Amino acid sequence: MHRADHRPSRRAFLDVTGAMVAAGLTAGCTSDAAPSGSSSSATAAPLRGPAATPTPAAVPALGRHQAGVTLPQPAQGNLLALVADLGAAVAVGPLLAELGETIRGLTAGTDPRLLGLPPGDLTVTVGVGPRLVRAAGASLPGATDLPRFSRERIAPRARGGDLLVQICAGDALLVPVVAAALLDQAGDRIRERWRQSGRRGANVPVGEGLAAPRNVLGFIDGIVGPHTAAEQRRDLWLSGPPEVAGGTLAVVRRMELDLPRFAALSVAEQEAVFGRRRASGVPLSGGTAASGPELGAKTPDGRYLVPVDAHVRRAHATMVGVGLMLRRSYSTDEPAPGLLFVSFQNDLRTFTATLTHMDASDALLGFTTTTASATFLILPGFDRQHPLGAGLFG
């Protein structure tokens, strides 16, 4: 399902999704809910087990910003990133407006294609690729493609794309059902390039009211970021031009990880790769996880406490000279064990300069191979009077 050079037909995908719902299964995941305890017969003994998991609170789909970036907090545990191209003759504005209306119905639970599933904390976030942005304005944020970096093994169909649909939910069963509904709405106007599903680990408190999940390498991930409203205004949200204000820029990268080689390292060696304690997320320079590393701190004999090639040093915003990025990593099983990395920032250079700085000597990159890569302008939020994408393509 995740191969970049193969796309099953939309009809086949819908048939598979229907079968999954009928069986109550989702590939690679288990349900969080136990049997409810109700019986189909008055004389049958009730089923016993823990109470059903409460349905999480709904996340408003309408507003200045699209949901799925800073809301909900913390982010849901399951994600599907779907990347597609638009046909040459497709009218972008009407397609985006239709998708926005479909998202509103799905998140409200009124779309029959949900098959009766409660939407809970479902969010759907839509972005457009550089080709479409350039058609609207060559100087607009989001009009620039990502450059190529080292440690990439990317098939042509897994690089770039016109459309990003990010689907997130606490209930893993919702994700493919929602994807099927959106593909049904788009019809033959889009052609899927690649997709990747992933999941986040349980959140770990890191101090200052913040929590972050562990990644598949065992380390707490995504501690640093624009968390306050002031930081998000400065580094996350686009303030202009007016047609993109309230949006942001996303980078999506799929990476395979050399888990056996990383696992063969001692805990101390693994911590030197990251620059943080594996158990707590505390920087090797001390303090707390949320307070950040003291990059100048040294041992009595003059060695940096945070090694010169540690990830936390090479990727640190002050070392690179850029703003903060909101980073999320999702563990993946297919096509190989790894991570789906998603970052949001209001200047693409925040990402490109950081990765260029990491490319020189980041110890973590030696365990990664990037197999898919794209950047998108995450459109501003929408409401009933202002359809999704109307500012750019109305």
pLDDT band at 4 (very low <50, low <70, confident <90, very high): very low
Output the pTM of the full model: 0.87
- Is 184 inside a domain boundary? yes
CA 144-150-152 angle, 5° bins: 85
- Is 29 inside a domain boundary? no
Instruction: Between 350 and 336, name the one with better pLDDT.
Output: 350
Q: What span, in angstroms and rounded, lies between the C-alpha atoms of 276 and 48?
A: 44
Range of the domain at 324: 10-22+58-393
pLDDT given at position 355: 98
Q: What span, in angstroms and rounded, lies between the C-alpha atoms of 128 and 252?
A: 12
CB 220 within 8 A of CB 204: yes
Task: Provide the number of structural domains found in the chain.
Answer: 1
Q: What span, in angstroms and rounded, lies between the C-alpha atoms of 64 and 13?
A: 33
- Is 152 inside a domain boundary? yes
Residue 78 above 50 pLDDT?
yes
Tens-place pLDDT, residues 109-151: 999 999 999 999 999 999 999 999 999 999 999 999 999 999 9
CB 191 within 8 A of CB 76: no
- Is 149 inside a domain boundary? yes
- Is 239 inside a domain boundary? yes
Across the strands, what pairs with 343? Answer: 251, 327
Tens-place pLDDT, residues 197-242: 999 999 999 988 889 999 999 999 999 999 999 999 999 999 999 9
CB 154 within 8 A of CB 372: yes
Q: What are phi and psi of 120, to 5 degrees?
A: 55, -130
Tens-place pLDDT, residues 99-109: 999 999 999 99
Q: Which two tokens stand for residue 336?
A: 């190989």
Q: What span, in angstroms and rounded, lies between the C-alpha atoms of 177 and 230?
A: 36
pLDDT given at position 394: 84
Cα-based distances in Å from 356 to 353, 360, 371, 384 = 5, 7, 17, 42
What is the H or E stretch that residue 298 is in?
Answer: none
DSSP single-letter state for residue 66: -
Four-CA torsion 220, 225, 227, 229, nearest 10 degrees: -170
pLDDT given at position 51: 64
CA 116-120-125 angle, 5° bins: 105
- Is 282 inside a domain boundary? yes
Tens-place pLDDT, residues 156-209: 999 999 999 999 999 999 999 999 999 999 999 999 999 999 999 999 999 888
CB 195 within 8 A of CB 79: no
Average model confidence (pLDDT) across the chain: 89
Q: What are phi and psi of 169, to 5 degrees?
A: -160, 150
Helix extents (H) in the chain: 10-23, 92-108, 130-136, 174-186, 229-235, 259-263, 267-274, 311-314, 317-320, 348-361, 390-393
- Is 205 inside a domain boundary? yes
Q: What is the mean pLDDT of residues 336-354?
A: 97
- Is 40 inside a domain boundary? no
Tens-place pLDDT, residues 347-377: 999 999 999 999 989 999 999 999 999 999 9
Q: What span, in angstroms and rounded, lies between the C-alpha atoms of 265 and 281?
A: 18
What amino acid occupies position 242? P
